[in-house]
Chains A and B, each alone.
Chain A
């Protein structure tokens, strides 16, 4: 338990007859970045809300930094969170909004300006929140989550509305925090981003866990693909037949053939195609990325 930042067991949440989260189990070790992925309505935000003590689970248990989620007062002073987008008082400035939260949590007020500078809002801190762009609101939300110098940071779609530069900054920030020992639990629909920064993945579909564990373990479970292109389009069907004759599943996508096979079969395909008079223009082994894996595992493509 002591090396685990988040641990949930048989956790469920039922609204009337709808089971939003169904008996999920997963653990997130401390000091890593853990991506939390799932289609819209899969139960990610409900799970985060349960972990933060905002809603009461219907069944199950959970522990945050070793403390039971029934007693959020025991761990929330060490947790930073931004759930379902940044929510602040529109008529107050960014600085004032953070001051409200700093006073509420009893955090040093000097941190407010430091965090505004850290998220790139140092010169707009005195502007009212309602004048902020979506990206600026996201940055303020991240600054608010960092107020307690958290041991665990829970962020729901933190890169929403950010430009590519902002996304890169958030990526670097989260990685730095993990390197400093903070556990980062982050949900995002930008799976390519999560693939870059995450050590762990928790994948949810229709309220159930599809996968939870190291991202390397997830990717290793996926079958690699060999992508072959021929000079003549008419040869693509012949390549499919060669693959199928060798017992591999193959399909034509766009202008290439995708063969589900181990990397070491690529030279065999190359030679067989050559012997059959087919000139290959490209032959590349490819591991599926997180997005493809996600779609395959959740069946939502």
Chain B
């Protein structure tokens, strides 16, 4: 298992992949965090789906990580793409047979891949957290947001809790990507399906019937990153999202272990 993790990390540290992924994460982090502070007085709102995050909320102990929590869903989509590509490419390149000849334990391959990609995601999340908090700290005075409570013990506790929630959410999105990669065996198909579903199909469905927000997978995983929403509790999101991820992971693992490698 440890050997699989080491081998996978060699692939993930490729500069194009590493800096490309971190660059995309920083872009969304900077954009969304800045938006919250720069558009604080906008009548269109400064949060997702037109929500308003006011000075009173940003001035709370948890204010420093509002931007970071909001970007969690986007970090999740980036993770989904990376996990899906890294999994499905083994089929398209034909490298899966090399891996299985060197490590015939198929579950070891899967778990090793998951651990290495989760470590990769952790680096991305950490950098995004630092950058988001730094942007928030710099933009707060200009937006007349009080940051006195941000680094109290309650504030640090909020930073830690949000970091854990975002990590759970991003890794869960990544597992969904892995599942799609294993089922579709093509990076383009897996990423297209995942991104289209999360960014377009789910939003359309929720726009048509708001109550679907409580049951669609992407909405649950995004809500986990935010620590729950007003109309979608953290516990509900964790339960329903966990079931989606768990069932998908079990089905994909069974298929991966039993399926012939004939390409």
A residues with CB within 8 A of B: 46, 49, 52-56, 72-73, 76, 79, 81, 83-85, 87-92, 96, 99-101, 103-106, 144, 147-148
Contact present for B10 and A103 (CB under 8 Å): yes
Which 6 A-B residue pairs are closest in the complex by CB-CB distance?
A: A87-B94, A55-B260, A104-B7, A103-B7, A72-B104, A105-B102
Q: A49-B262, A91-B14, A92-B14 are in contact. Are A81 and B3 (CB under 8 A)?
A: no
Chain B residues numbered 65-116 whose CB sits less than 8 Å from any CB in chain A: 89, 93-95, 97-105
Contact present for A53 and B100 (CB under 8 Å): yes
Q: Which residues of B contact A56 (CB under 8 A)?
A: 260
Q: Which residues of A contact B7 (CB under 8 A)?
A: 100-101, 103-104
Distance A251 CA – B86 CA, assembled complex (angstroms) = 61
Contact present for B3 and A54 (CB under 8 Å): no
Q: Which residues of A contact B171 (CB under 8 A)?
A: none
Contact present for A76 and B94 (CB under 8 Å): no
B11 at the interface (CB under 8 A from A): yes
Which residue from B3, B93, B102 sits with its C-beta under 8 Å from A88?
B93
Q: Which residues of A contact B11 (CB under 8 A)?
A: 89, 92, 100
Minimum C-beta distance from B258 to chain A (A): 8
Contact present for A53 and B104 (CB under 8 Å): yes
B144 at the interface (CB under 8 A from A): no
Minimum C-beta distance from B12 to chain A (A): 11
B261 at the interface (CB under 8 A from A): yes
Chain B contact residue count (CB 8 A cutoff):
25
Minimum C-beta distance from A126 to chain B (A): 14
Among B4, B14, B97, which residue has the most Cβ atoms of chain A within 10 A? B97
Q: Which residues of B contact A46 (CB under 8 A)?
A: 262
Jot down 11 A-B pairs with beta carbons below 8 A, ordered by A.
Answer: A49-B260, A49-B261, A55-B260, A56-B260, A76-B101, A76-B102, A81-B101, A103-B7, A104-B6, A104-B102, A105-B103
Q: In this complex, what residue of A is CB-closest to B262?
A: A55
Contact present for A90 and B93 (CB under 8 Å): yes
Distance A90 CA – B101 CA, assembled complex (angstroms) = 19
- Count A-B pairs with CB separation below 8 Å: 77
Contact present for B261 and A103 (CB under 8 Å): no
Q: Which residues of A contact B6 (CB under 8 A)?
A: 103-104
B16 at the interface (CB under 8 A from A): yes
Contact present for A52 and B101 (CB under 8 Å): yes
Q: Which residues of A contact B103 (CB under 8 A)?
A: 104-105
Contact present for B261 and A89 (CB under 8 Å): no
Distance A106 CA – B108 CA, assembled complex (angstroms) = 14
Distance A106 CA – B101 CA, assembled complex (angstroms) = 13
Minimum C-beta distance from B132 to chain A (A): 30
Q: In this complex, what residue of B is CB-closest to A85?
A: B94
Q: In this complex, what residue of B is CB-closest to A129?
A: B93
Chain B residues numbered 10-35 whose CB sits less than 8 Å from any CB in chain A: 10-11, 14, 16-17
Q: Which residues of B contact A79 (CB under 8 A)?
A: 101
Contact present for A73 and B105 (CB under 8 Å): yes
Q: Which residues of B contact A90 (CB under 8 A)?
A: 93
Minimum C-beta distance from A237 to chain B (A): 53
Q: In this complex, what residue of A is CB-closest to B103?
A: A104
Chain B 195-222: CB-based contact to A (< 8 A → 1; otherwise 0): 0000000000000000000000000000
Q: Which residues of A contact B3 (CB under 8 A)?
A: 103-106
Minimum C-beta distance from B232 to chain A (A): 40
Distance A104 CA – B101 CA, assembled complex (angstroms) = 10
Distance A9 CA – B10 CA, assembled complex (angstroms) = 40
Minimum C-beta distance from A83 to chain B (A): 6
Q: In this complex, what residue of B is CB-closest to A76?
A: B104
Contact present for A73 and B98 (CB under 8 Å): no
Contact present for A96 and B10 (CB under 8 Å): yes
Distance A284 CA – B17 CA, assembled complex (angstroms) = 65
Contact present for B94 and A54 (CB under 8 Å): no
Which residue from B16, B97, B99 sits with its C-beta under 8 Å from A83?
B97
Distance A148 CA – B104 CA, assembled complex (angstroms) = 14
Distance A88 CA – B17 CA, assembled complex (angstroms) = 17
Distance A100 CA – B116 CA, assembled complex (angstroms) = 13
Q: Which residues of B contact A106 (CB under 8 A)?
A: 3
Q: Which residues of B contact A99 (CB under 8 A)?
A: 10
Distance A106 CA – B102 CA, assembled complex (angstroms) = 9
Contact present for B104 and A89 (CB under 8 Å): no
Q: Which residues of B contact A49 (CB under 8 A)?
A: 97, 260-262
Distance A151 CA – B7 CA, assembled complex (angstroms) = 24
Distance A194 CA – B17 CA, assembled complex (angstroms) = 43
Contact present for A87 and B97 (CB under 8 Å): yes
Contact present for B4 and A54 (CB under 8 Å): no
Contact present for B95 and A54 (CB under 8 Å): no
Distance A226 CA – B166 CA, assembled complex (angstroms) = 82
Distance A52 CA – B98 CA, assembled complex (angstroms) = 10
Q: In this complex, what residue of B is CB-closest to A81?
A: B101
Distance A106 CA – B100 CA, assembled complex (angstroms) = 14
Minimum C-beta distance from B262 to chain A (A): 6
Distance A116 CA – B199 CA, assembled complex (angstroms) = 46
Q: In this complex, what residue of A is CB-closest to B109?
A: A104
Contact present for A104 and B4 (CB under 8 Å): yes
Q: A91-B16, A96-B10 are in contact. Are A54 and B260 (CB under 8 A)?
A: yes
